[in-house]
């Protein structure tokens, strides 16, 4: 398209058809620019997101670390479960000891009563001490 001074416009620029065609092409170019800028913004956002995420090496390292932590936690869990079993055994042993203690106190009381009665009946010849 050539810019020529037109005698119809008295030398005031382009012809009306050429001016309209130029304006429509400018509008199309503006729309294309807006569309491309939107695509660019989306791509920049996606790039920023991808750059903030860990790389494969970092993710692999984190995974290995997490797996090691899981193994440690499982060992601690097993130890805790054994401790719970030990607590159960400990409670049973405590009850058994309490029962034996009560039996011993009962028998000691009976023996002391017997010795005191024996001391009274023998008029002090045999003492409880």
When pLDDT is cut at 50, 70 and 90, the band that residue 13 belongs to is confident
CA distance 32 to 44: 18
CA distance 65 to 57: 12
When pLDDT is cut at 50, 70 and 90, the band that residue 111 belongs to is very high
Number of helices (H), then strands (E), in the chain: 2, 0
Does residue 127 register a pLDDT over 80?
A: no
Instruction: List C-alpha distances in Å: 9 to 14, 29, 44, 48.
Output: 8, 27, 48, 54
């Amino acid at each position: 398209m050539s810019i020529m001074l037109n005698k119809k416009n008295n030398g005031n620029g382009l012809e009306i058809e050429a001016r309209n065609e130029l304006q429509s092409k400018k509008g199309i170019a503006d729309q294309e620019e807006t569309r491309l800028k939107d695509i660019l913004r989306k791509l920049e956002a996606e790039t920023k997101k991808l750059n903030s995420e860990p790389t494969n090496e970092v993710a692999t390292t984190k995974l290995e670390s997490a797996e090691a932590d899981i193994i440690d936690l499982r060992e601690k869990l097993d130890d805790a479960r054994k401790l719970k079993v030990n607590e159960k055994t400990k409670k049973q042993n405590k009850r058994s000891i309490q029962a034996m203690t009560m039996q011993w106190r009962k028998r000691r009381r009976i023996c002391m009563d017997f010795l005191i009665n024996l001391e009274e009946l023998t008029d002090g010849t045999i003492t409880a001490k």
